[in-house]
Chain A
Amino acid sequence: MPDLILSGVSKSFGSTRAVDATDLTFAQGQLTALLGPSGCGKTTLLRMIAGLEDPTRGTIRLGDEDITGLPAHKRKFGMVFQSFALFPHYSVRENVAYSLIIGGMAKPEALDKAQTLLDTVQLSKFGDRRIGELSGGQRQRVAIARALAQEPQVFLLDEPMSALDAKLREEMQVELRLLQQRLGITTIVVTHDQREAMTMADTIVVMSNGRVEQVAPPKEIYHKPANAFVADFIGKANFFDGVYRKDGVEIGEQAVHVPANFAAGSPVRLAIRPESACLVTEPGQNCIDAQISFVRDLGPVREYHLRTDIGPLIVEYAGTDGMERVAGDKTLVHLPVEALRVYPRAVA
């Protein structure tokens, strides 16, 4: 199966620009997550790939074939909808066999193949049931089996976990990932849940306001966010606004040492993950006076809310050794240079 390539694809609804010109390559056999907040254009992008929306500009190619104008029913892309869109007037098996039957396969043969697919998604005993008799998780499996029945070249999923409860969602994320790896189908998942994207994806495309902010593997997205939006959207981060001076950022009276490629005097935003900052007792480089205002024990980690000269700061600590402090304690917080990120800041 060839790569799916988007070149300058954009979409406008009237005067509203839903997706800016986008260039993306979805590698063969990989799972890519389109991640972003509501209204960022990720579903519109997926619908353009599926052929359910026509791009305003740009081309969509599957390998060498231009499929921009190809109608949805000729693309052979399997799609799982947010609402699952299962046909209530058919049984589970008939739902799965739908694409095969309308594709011309004899009904008994199509139903046999549907049964095999139901075995794959562990619903072998549910073939004769009506859709209304299934739970949310079972419906999702049926939707997946139905989309896979036509042996799609590309598998598209639009917020497939959003209708499931938290526990089931986690289980299904792992299951879906394992299934995708086993079948080796190029898969694109739309989600607004960064945990879901991190769990399943080979590559994450972070989107905001119709724009692609960063395309990278999950680890890189988390540890090397391309901009303040990505840093804020993926995981948690402390942000401080300041001005770049030689080899560091000046935040009020406090200077934080962090080399970056900015001209002196540039307005910048400094970011650090809560788990990257740490409480220390000995002064040193980038050690700032702080007072603990609130302590929250979250089980696996303890969260310290600090008041510092550069602003409020949250530190997460996962260890159990001698670090226990209480609200009101004075301390030092260390901001390691390698964990600090500096981003340009727009000045109003």
Chain B
Amino acid sequence: MTIADDIKMAPAAPKTPAKGVTPKAALYAVLSAVMAVFCIVPFILVIVISFGRKVDGAGWVWAFTFDNYQRFFVGILWPDEVTFLYLQQLGYSFYFAIIASVLAVLTALPFTLLLTRLKRRTQAIWLVFILASLSMSEVFIVMGWDILLSNNSGLPKLFQVTGLTQWLKDVGWFQILREMGLANPRNVKFKPSEFATILTMSYLVWPYAVILLYPALSRLDPSLSEAARTMGAGRWTITRTVTLPSIRLPLMGTTLLLFVFLLGSYVSISVFATPDKQTTAVAIYSNIRGSNLDAPFGSAQAVILLISASVCLYFGHLLNSKAEAR
């Protein structure tokens, strides 16, 4: 028998089965379509509309113009006049989001550190309570704070009734509160104010800060701070040289996440911020759903806010990478 005979006698290679649509592939296709329709298409629509044109006294029409972006950066009167109203709003978005996120992280950090030192059972109870507080909507929380800080039924009333207002006047601190915009000639006044805005925004994201910091802090090796203690470090030195550097990455990550989340904060700003300190998120709503009916400009503002958040995330990522590389 020759090799040629062997080849002839060898069984034919099995035919490749025809490629049909498997149920798994069909499921992937449906899921992809759903994702595209509900996530990507609206996003693309916003970008496309941002190049549209507003029709005076009516809605808007499809177009391809950079007027909305130009208006955002130099104002509607350009080139006759340059105004930075919308950039200022973006600035306030950053201002409130940065302060509120940093405040939330700074207050959540010692709380979470203490939480990790409690017994497991107590920790679990606290975590369940904090997780439960996440279920409350922004509207509900802001409503609560609105009542708490309102001039007629909230803390200012309590200050007046208990004589705290008079005491503040007597010791001279009332004038300081007035200069800070937290009092009128008769009583303390917490809203509208930056104080109330930042406080509410911090309160909103505080549970997120605890939940995000908890895993990193609970993994923190207690022997690190004990080692520092045996080497002569006091409490503050340990915090500064051991604890904070050890959790630098989760700390930065949490702050960045809360910051991006707060950039889009709407209810707290519209309720507590003064009209001259409204943010881009509020302006977007006014343009798209409010009285202006200027969807193209609202969309352009939304795109710019998104790009700003992405740039911040990118720089945060860069910082993290550098820190990790070190």
Contacts and interface: CB of A to CB of B under 8 A. Distances in A.
Contact of B231 (A52, A71, A83, A102): A102
A270 interface: no
Contact of B230 (A72, A83, A87): A72
A146 interface: yes
A88 B232 CA distance: 19
Interface stretch (A73-81, A164-172, A184-192, A252-260): A73-81
A50 B223 CA distance: 13
Interface string B68-109: 000000000000000000000000000000000000000000
A75 B230 CA distance: 7
Contacts of A52: 226, 229-230
A72 B226 contact: yes
Interface residues of A, number: 29
Nearest to B246: A89
Interface string B277-290: 00000000000000
Contact of A73 (B224, B229, B242, B246): B229
A103 interface: yes
**Number of contact residues on B: which range applies?**
10 to 19
A237 to B, nearest CB: 36
Contacts of A79: 226-227, 230
A73 B234 contact: yes
Given A81-B226, A87-B242, A99 B221 contact: no
B232 A83 contact: no
Contacts of B241: 87, 98, 102
A85 interface: yes
A150 B232 contact: yes
B239 interface: no
B230 to A, nearest CB: 4
Contacts of B246: 87-89
B69 to A, nearest CB: 43
Contacts of B148: none
Given A88-B246, A89-B246, A102-B237, A83 B229 contact: no
A85 B232 contact: no
Contacts of B230: 50-52, 72-73, 75, 77-79, 147, 156
B144 interface: no
B221 A85 contact: yes
B117 interface: no
B304 interface: no
Interface in B232-277: 232-234, 237, 241-242, 245-246, 248
A107 to B, nearest CB: 13
A77 B246 CA distance: 24
A99 B231 contact: yes
Contact of A102 (B223, B232, B248): B232
Contacts of A51: 229-230
A99 B231 CA distance: 5
A88 B324 CA distance: 11
Contacts of A75: 230
Nearest to A47: B226
Nearest to A77: B230
Contacts of B127: none
Contacts of A83: 221, 223
Contact of B223 (A71, A81, A147): A81
B232 A81 contact: no
A76 B232 CA distance: 7
A51 B227 CA distance: 11
Given A88-B246, A89-B248, A98 B226 contact: no
Contacts of A50: 230
B228 interface: yes
Interface string A35-79: 000000000000000111000000000000000000111111111
Interface string A296-325: 000000000000000000000000000000
Nearest to A50: B230
A146 B224 CA distance: 13
> Which of A76, A81, A103 has the most chain B CB atoms closer than 10 A to its own CB?
A81
A101 to B, nearest CB: 9
Interface in A90-111: 98-99, 102-103
Contacts of B226: 52, 72, 79, 81, 85
Contact of A146 (B229, B231, B248): B231
A252 to B, nearest CB: 52
Nearest to A98: B231
Contacts of A73: 229-234
> Which of A51, A78, A98 has the most chain B CB atoms closer than 10 A to its own CB?
A98
A149 B230 CA distance: 12
Contacts of A89: 245-246, 248
Contacts of B223: 81-83, 85
A100 to B, nearest CB: 9
Nearest to A76: B232
Interface of B: 221, 223-224, 226-234, 237, 241-242, 245-246, 248
- Interchain residue pairs A-B with the least CB separation, the first 3: A99-B231, A85-B227, A85-B223
Given A88-B246, A150-B232, 17 more contacts: A51-B229, A52-B229, A71-B229, A72-B230, A73-B229, A73-B230, A73-B234, A78-B231, A81-B227, A89-B246, A89-B248, A99-B231, A102-B228, A102-B233, A102-B241, A146-B231, A150-B231
11 contacts: A72-B229, A73-B229, A73-B231, A74-B232, A75-B230, A83-B223, A85-B223, A85-B227, A87-B246, A98-B231, A147-B231
